[in-house]
Amino acid sequence: MKKERKTGIINTLFSVIILFYFVCLVSISYLNINLTKIEGAFVELFTIPLMILSVSLYCYNFYKMYKEGWKLKSYYFISIIILTLVLILLILASVYNI
């Protein structure tokens, strides 16, 4: 497997993990699930680094798509779509105060 393909697969995997985490986070808030102090600490510990990772992955994937010539069949494009869903989810969660 080529290095570029491995990088694209890893980016897509990280994007799916980020989407899963934020969907769980919004679901916890929407369903009013009470977390213990330790669980809340872990949520706080992971949220900010994953937000920073999502922004940096977004920029990195746009850069790689630019270098590839905007191919829509690449893993970078899939990762951009997933990260756009994360962005929409976070905007809707903050607008509707979930």
pLDDT of residue 86: 94
Beta carbons within 10 angstroms of residue 13's beta carbon: 12
- Ranges of residues in the chain with a pLDDT under 70 are 1, 98
pLDDT of residue 91: 92
Beta carbons within 10 angstroms of residue 18's beta carbon: 20
- Between CA 35 and CA 6 the distance in angstroms is 37
pLDDT of residue 56: 94
Please, are residues 57 and 85 in contact by the beta-carbon 8 Å criterion?
no
35-60 pLDDT, tens digit each: 888 988 888 899 999 999 999 999 99
For residues 4, 47, 21, 57, the Cα torsion angle rounded to the nearest 10 degrees is: -20
